Amino acid sequence: MWGIVGLFKGIFLIARVFGLWYTISMKNVIYQIVNLVTGMRYIGSTTRGFTQRTEKEHRARLRNGKHENPYLQRSWNKHGDSAFIFEALEYVDCVDDVLDVEQSWINKYDFETELYNIAENPLAPMLGRNHTQETRDKISAANSGENNYWWGKHGEEHPMFGKTHSKKTKDKISKGRKDKKAVCQIDKKSDEIIFIYDSIHEAAKANNISYKNISIVCNKTMCWHKKNQKYYLRKTAGGVKWEFADKLK
């Protein structure tokens, strides 16, 4: 009898250890911090693991009164540590899809009345707000001259060098070029065109992807990574590449 009980306890312990390992190993995660008193919540994402982001960063800053989100900090000060819970909402396989998945979770709630989030768009946290002149100068410098993605892209350095499109693809591109705002949806592995949309708005609506995300990819806009404190080039939106039709040859 006790042998069977011990066996089940051993299996349960192994399962818990495995579950803990699996959770820690999944670094790309969408999470929420929920106020159990008011029902308000903060939704965020991380590529460094749930525990690292929530326990070692969010909770520590809130307890020290130094959190960067003033709405969340004031609520924490008012209701106390015990009024909040930290939960993982979804683990994401591909790091390029993290912000899009975070956006889909944010869209489930009313931004003004149900969320502590300062930015409605996680990829464009300044949407609807203004940068200081100093920040504008830094962004300008990051996208100018040799820092620009298209700077010096000729010959073998061009992504389509040595490749040829099929007649069907050429016809699609030709049709798309009639509208300079036409955008191509491209498979990120094969670089084959999946579909051509008449505009970014049409592409965003058809694929349920943020217009801003597709626009940033098409325009090769350098984005500021708040967590890593550096600029980076976003290459995909919704798990695929995007390019203006008139940029393809």
214 in a structural domain: yes
Do 94 and 186 belong together in one domain? Answer: no
DSSP letter at 89 equals E
> Based on the structure, what is the number of domains in the chain?
2
Across 184-195, b (16+ Cβ under 10 Å) vs e yields bbbeeeeeebee
pLDDT digits (tens, 9 = 90+) for 30-51: 999 999 999 999 999 988 888 8
Do 73 and 172 belong together in one domain? Answer: no
Do 158 and 236 belong together in one domain? Answer: yes
For residue 202, give both structure tokens: 């049409």
What predicted TM-score, i.e. pTM, was given to this entire model?
Answer: 0.46
* CATH at residue 54: 3.40.1440.10
Q: Is the pLDDT of residue 245 over 80?
A: yes
> Which range, of 79-83, 98-102, 149-153, 240-244, averages the lowest pLDDT?
149-153
Asked if 31 and 53 touch (Cβ cutoff 8 Å), the reply is yes
C-alpha distances out from residue 154 to 117, 161, 189, 191, 218, Å: 42, 9, 22, 18, 18
Do 168 and 97 belong together in one domain? Answer: no
Asked if 96 and 236 touch (Cβ cutoff 8 Å), the reply is yes
Do 10 and 101 belong together in one domain? Answer: yes
Q: Domain boundary at 114, 137, 169, which? A: 114
pLDDT higher at 9 or 162: 162
Find the domain containing 104 and state its range.
2-114
pLDDT value of position 44: 92
pLDDT digits (tens, 9 = 90+) for 117-176: 887 777 655 444 555 666 566 656 655 666 655 566 666 665 566 677 677 666 665 655
190 in a structural domain: yes
Do 108 and 164 belong together in one domain? Answer: no
Residues 6 or more apart in contact with residue 198 via CB below 8 angstroms: 176, 179, 181, 182
142 in a structural domain: no
Do 96 and 192 belong together in one domain? Answer: no
Q: Is the pLDDT of residue 15 over 60?
A: no
Mean pLDDT of the chain: 77
